[in-house]
Structure 1
Amino acid sequence: MELPSLDLNLVVVLHALLQERNVTRAGERVGLSQPGASAALARLRRHFDDPLLERVGTIYELTPLAQALRSQVAETVANLQLVLSARPGFDPKRAEREFTIQCSDSVLYLLGPALVRAVTAAAPAVTLDLQPVDPRFLFDPPAAVRDVDVLILPRGLFTSTTEIDGADLYEDRWVCVTSQGNHAVGNTLTKAEVAAARWVVSFRRPPLTSPIDAALAALGIDRRSTVKIQSLTMLHRMVAGTDLLVLAHEMVVGDLTAQGLRRVELPVVLPSIREAAWSHPSHRLDPGHRWLLAMIRQASLEVRRPSTSPSPDALATVPPAY
């Protein structure tokens, strides 16, 4: 079989162009300057005898041919990565490699220390690059996991596909917390009190709204936010000495009494948070990646949830959310 004459590097550029629909951003994605990306686009146009990208007003749109190529090229690049990333073996004691893991600050707080201890002990020359989650997972899950080794997100927040599935790590759950000195509410809230209270919330930029608020809204409960922060590990610390309430991760909160806090039961049972490790299928033949996943799963065994149970007075169950 004879393949058409085309530099494989141009296939990678084509994939970026079809995804980004912008020459500059596509170049940045594959490490090309703007002139280099423009030159690559010109070669691709000559090869396909099609403009591929056409200016419509102030933006570029894909031509019909480019639209038809988009999914095929994405699948081709994924298969190429799968084939070309194959390695005969992985020796952690000798490996000099960097692994990129993206996760929330709560996962980093709970899982990070155990993972760092395990990896640095087993693989002294391996580097861990621990990053915040790329918001691309909202719009293009395959792209979000393609450029990292592992993306750790809870089930229900990350949309799995046939090709991409997650390895379960640990479960946490939401708890409602307030200051011990807050006498405005008792130990159990009614729906009316949930709506009337002032809350600290984990702020997420549009289009990602709080799934917990979406679930509460389905039951006719709307929280009134007074403080918004982009941190899951700092949520509960904001309510000390105030009359505010917060929904926080139970294992992150830790010992309430020592922090001058107390737990308040909600009129609904919130779903558990099931953290999972997601990775792109192009990593499947990489023994180094399989080793990393094994280390993450092993470290997750050290994450243990407190043995408290939900209130028996719960009146309803909210659909799964994060």
Structure 2
Amino acid sequence: MSDKSSLSRLDLNLLVSLDALLTERSVTRAAERLHLSQPALSASLARLRTHFNDPILARTGNTYELTPLASRLSEHTAAALDAAQRVFDSQAEWDPSQSTREFAIYGSDYSFATTGRRIASLAAERAPGVRFRFMMHNPQIVDEAVNRLRGADALLMPHGFLTDLPFTDLWNDTWVVIASDDNEAVADGVTLEHVGRLPWVFTYLSRSAFTSATRQIQQLGIEPRVEAVVESFLAMPLFIAGTDRLGLLQAGLADYARNVGGIRVLEPPFDATPIHNAMWWHPVHRRDPEHEWLRTLAVEAASGIEPAAA
């Protein structure tokens, strides 16, 4: 039997019940959430148990816990519901000024502080009913980008981490070094000797999570002395001001770092690889007029970004 034939025999309303059960972990609370009677939702749970040949919810003492299968299902159910909602919300003609669509976008705080906020600002002027959900990515989301982007609209991320996905180029950035403004060791600039001797704050430091500039330092044969790892570009200046630490930050955040206070922005002592920012998306969105509008808006938003100089 084909997958399509099997799907046609299912009641897709069960997906709504499954999502509520996985979220609430209680038939009573799930029924209240869906405004259904408890017997009606119990019947849905029975059908789900038969379909998956799994109890879904297993009693432990006075509470219920998700079975291992249910835990895996919880990662996909919300995305499947969102995708189904998008299907039935689609229109032959779409007027952004009248739309109430929500766009879900993954990215880092750097992407949101530069590109994301400008996208939201432009949209507020032209499509006041459109909403955005900006969600922080992590290494797992990046590794599973093909699947994750089936249920989301985009991932804001520089080139060098993703392949086999459509993308829209946005803007180019560079790297700067930030140091405390009272760090006399780098009063005349940063040298490679400073890179190897002074302590560092890194934003990401693992086999699958890194920045191109920190990788370059290692390729120069220098193993930096890392005193702190902060998975936030916007938090980095707070860990550097008043210390002898150094940090690598995108030039697009240089003015922000200065405004934090106590920070000096300097040129790196090596030819840092440029940052080519892009919006990545799944092929299912290729002919979606609403998504085309989002991509066009992102390009326009990025065109007005000018990285500050060191």
- Determine if contact 2:254/2:308 at 8 Å carries over to the other structure: no
Give a deviation string over 1:273-306, Cα, whole Å, max 9, x none. Answer: 2221122233334322221222122111111234
Q: Secondary structure at the match of 1:93?
A: helix
User: Match for 1:263: what amino acid?
Assistant: L
- Distance in 2, Cα, partners of 1:142 & 1:38: 34
Matches within 5 A, 1:52-71: none
Instruction: Please give the TM-score of this superposition, normalised by the length of structure 1.
Output: 0.67
- Determine if contact 1:78/1:281 at 8 Å carries over to the other structure: no
Indicate yes or no: 2:129 matched with 1:125: yes
Matches within 5 A, 1:150-299: 150-157=154-161, 159-161=162-164, 164-185=165-186, 186-190=188-192, 192-203=193-204, 208-212=208-212, 213-254=214-255, 261-266=264-269, 268-299=270-301
Indicate yes or no: 2:110 matched with 1:109: no
User: Match for 1:120: what amino acid?
Assistant: A
Stretch of structure 1 that moved more, 209-218 or 166-175: 209-218
- Distance in 2, Cα, partners of 1:123 & 1:235: 34
Distance apart, 1:187 and its partner CA: 2.2
- Show structure 1 runs of 4+ deviating over 4 A: 1-4, 8-14, 35-48, 59-62, 76-86, 255-260
Distance apart, 1:103 and its partner CA: 2.1
Q: Which runs of 5+ in 2 are unaligned?
A: 32-37, 57-65, 70-79
User: Match for 1:228: what amino acid?
Assistant: V
Q: Alpha carbons of 1:175 and 1:120: their partners in 2 closer, same or farther (altered >3 Å)?
A: same
- Determine if contact 1:176/1:263 at 8 Å carries over to the other structure: yes
Distance apart, 1:100 and its partner CA: 2.0
Give a deviation string over 1:174-229, Cα, whole Å, max 9, x none. Answer: 11222343222452412x4322211122146x664324434432332111122332
- Determine if contact 1:178/1:264 at 8 Å carries over to the other structure: no
Q: Secondary structure at the match of 2:92?
A: coil
Q: Alpha carbons of 1:46 and 1:225: their partners in 2 closer, same or farther (altered >3 Å)?
A: same
Which structure carries more helix by proportion?
2
- Determine if contact 2:171/2:305 at 8 Å carries over to the other structure: yes
Q: 1:142 aligns with which of 146, 149, 152?
A: 146
- Distance in 2, Cα, partners of 1:101 & 1:199: 30
- Determine if contact 1:150/1:278 at 8 Å carries over to the other structure: yes
CA RMSD of aligned residues (A): 4.6
Q: Secondary structure at the match of 2:235?
A: coil
Q: Secondary structure at the match of 1:118?
A: helix
User: Match for 1:279: what amino acid?
Assistant: W
